[in-house]
Amino acid sequence: MTNIKWWQTAVFYQIYPRSFADGNGDGIGDFKGITEKLDYLSSLGMDALWLSPHFPSPNWDCGYDISDYCNVAPEYGTMQDFNHFLFEAHKRDMRIILDLVLNHTSDEHAWFKESKSSRDNPKADWYVWLDSHLPEGEGSGEAPRSGVRVPPNNWQSCFDGEAWTYVPERDQYYYHYFMKQQPDLNWHNPEVKQAMWDAGRFWLDLGVDGFRLDAIGTIYEDPHLTPHNVPMNLAELRRFSELAKTPKEIKLKEKYWHEMFKNQWGQAGVHELMKELRAILDEYDGDRVLVGEDDNIDFMGSGRDELHLVFNFPLMQTEGLTPDHIRKNQKERLSKLEALSAGQGWGCNTLGNHDSSRVYTRYGNKLHDTELARLHAALVLTLKGTPFLYNGEEIGMTDYMLTDISQVKDTMGSWYYHTIVTEMGVHPEEAMLRTAEMTRDKNRTPMQWSNNLNAGFSPAHVSTWLPVNPNYKNGINVLDQEKNPSSLLNYYKHLLHVRKSSVALQAGEYIPLHPSAKEYLTFLRQSGEQTVLVVLNFSEHALELDFTRAREIKRHNLRLLFSSAERRGGELPPQFKVAPFEVFIAKVAHA
Ligand code: GLC
């Protein structure tokens, strides 16, 4: 483990600040609350925390629309609270990475306010501004003679309809990949780069350990403004996707999503930017880290000159986490990572975040949800690579479906609801059901700390920013689970401890075994010092397994490290039985 960096062996935990812990009793999470929970996180076994944006924001996109990059949102506290939090986290040997949103700012950011004020202000070129596209036959000029104003092209925002919004002060449109309150910065302008790198340095100087980089794929657009050729707009495509049932419709829907946005992301230039940012990080001590919100391994550059990690999203982008899917995913990812120079490639596995349905709900089957949640936790904690957990998954928090449009805080959800009701005539009841499913509010509800009113997130009777999922009363809360030795929370703790005590589980190679097994996944993690066998039985049957033909095991016995079934410790022969849904982890006893 000599050359291994802290971010390779660390387990990361994503905190969604608004929903984590309300320290001042106003119904919204804050730094006081997070700081009070650091002991919890440390005893759980977390090595690093990723904070979703904590900056001032009008919250059209829940903090991802930043109006000041060098400050703390007043509802979360002050700079002093932040510094205290950072100090306390570091004191407990926990690293902190922040969310850096590069593609866009809030439309309330001072940069944008200035930029939109005229065509010739000092920041006039800080955002992506374009004139009206003139209908056929009209020459270039100030205003179209026909009086018809047409956006520069048919690009859509992935959140709320057209990607272009008109500003009368400039008689021009600005571009936004996300909501209209999130104007895209013009990264071709060196002043923009400078300003954003300065913002990064501001936090690095304070001692943060790195950044999760938001939506990097969307930084540049096709310079030719090539229109998309999908015969629908965003709302229609969403609706089409919801109603798509047949394999043909499903294929078409996937094609349309790709076609609609392919000219708006993944464009040239972004690797140079990532190299610049990496060079800045490397000026600092302490192996600071960059994690890209992208699954493209190209963002790791040569392995030394761009990002340290990108998420393995393909692992979680599946209807069912089957052994076949996982093996295929690992084969593809690990071979690409190994191809990077000087063994610099390192994976990063996650099964959920603030944008996705919760693991417990998404991969449950309603019959064996608890068992499956345990298997999935074991998966992400035993595969090769750095695991990222999302707050609440350790107690089995589930999606919570809102029932009234007035409760919806995720603006992409309320926009969709109103659009399909008013423009497509969808019945409000159905529209609400669809909205509840598509909005990200369902997986952002307040953390459930106890079975007190409001789940101990806020004092009783305070109205929380999003409703608390009432299932906190049924044992889905930290306090109850801490007291119960067989809870999911104690299972996570135990597993995290086993991971931490094993060099092979943290840093070893991944060697798949039994490559065609349908019902279970099994692999070795092997480092110089240690070989560990992992078996995840995804089936509801007990299975007889035989490892006598595995070269690394042969006739050696296995020394149990962890089992989710009732097993006595000690040694087992390389042929043994696993219980339904068992997670089995053992050391190959070479001696
Ligand atoms: C990322 C964030 C998401 C946000 C979007 C725009 O995908 O994870 O929550 O809405 O970027 O910033």
Tens digits of per-residue pLDDT, 421-473?
Answer: 999 999 999 999 999 999 999 999 999 999 999 999 999 999 999 999 999 99
What confidence score (pLDDT) does residue 17 get? 98
C-beta 178 within 6 A of ligand 1: yes
Query: Would you give the DSSP letter of residue 179?
Result: -
* Residue 117 in tokens: 């004020």
Closest by alpha carbon to 467, among 489, 448, 488? 448
CA 358–ligand 1 middle distance (angstroms)? 16
Is residue 293 annotated as part of the catalytic site, yes or no? yes
* Residue 557 in tokens: 């016995």
Torsion of CA 358, 364, 365, 368, to 10 degrees: -150
Residue 140 has pLDDT above 70, yes or no: no
CA atoms within 13 A on the CB side of 434: 22
Closest ligand 1 atom to residue 101 Cα is 12
Torsion of CA 399, 405, 409, 413, to 10 degrees: 80
CA 374–ligand 1 middle distance (angstroms)? 28
Closest ligand 1 atom to residue 61 Cα is 10
What mean pLDDT, rounded, does the chain reach?
Answer: 95
Those residues whose C-beta lies under 8 Å from the C-beta of residue 304, and which sit 6 or more positions away, are: 341, 342, 344
**CA dist 351 to 62, 320, 360, Å?**
21, 12, 10
CA 215–ligand 1 middle distance (angstroms)? 6
CA 131–ligand 1 middle distance (angstroms)? 27
Is residue 214 annotated as part of the catalytic site, yes or no? yes
Closest by alpha carbon to 303, among 340, 332, 273? 340
What confidence score (pLDDT) does residue 147 get? 67
- Contact assessment for residue 37 and residue 456, using Cβ atoms and an 8 Å cutoff: no
C-beta 61 within 6 A of ligand 1: yes
The CATH architecture of the domain made up of 6-103+191-223+265-399+463-490 is Alpha-Beta Barrel (3.20)
Q: How far apart are CA 192 and CA 177, in angstroms?
A: 17
What confidence score (pLDDT) does residue 562 get? 97
Q: Which of 14, 51, 61, 444 to mutate to test the pocket of ligand 1 (most atoms within 8 A of CB)?
A: 61
pTM here? 0.97
Span 271-327, pLDDT tens digits:
999 999 999 999 999 999 999 999 999 999 998 999 999 999 999 999 889 999 999
**Region 41-58 average pLDDT:** 98
Closest ligand 1 atom to residue 104 Cα is 12
What confidence score (pLDDT) does residue 145 get? 58
CA 241–ligand 1 middle distance (angstroms)? 21
C-beta 101 within 6 A of ligand 1: yes
Bridge partners of residue 104, in order along the sequence: 184
Q: Which of 214, 306, 410, 582 is catalytic?
A: 214
* Residue 520 in tokens: 């279970």
Q: Which of 162, 293, 410, 480 is catalytic?
A: 293
Domain with CATH 3.20.20.80 in the chain: 6-103+191-223+265-399+463-490
Amino acid at 313: F
Collect contacts of 109-113 with beta carbons under 8 A, ≥24 apart: 109/66, 109/67, 109/68, 110/67, 110/68, 111/185, 111/195, 112/183
CA 488–ligand 1 middle distance (angstroms)? 29
Domain 508-590 in CATH 2.60.40.1180? The answer is yes
Span 403-429, pLDDT tens digits:
999 999 999 999 999 999 999 999 999
- For atom 6 of ligand 1, the residue with the nearest CA is 64
Residue 228 has pLDDT above 90, yes or no: yes
Domain with CATH 2.60.40.1180 in the chain: 508-590
C-beta 98 within 6 A of ligand 1: no
- Characterize the bridge pairing of strands 348-350 and 386-390: parallel
Q: Which residue has the tokens 């610049």?
A: 276
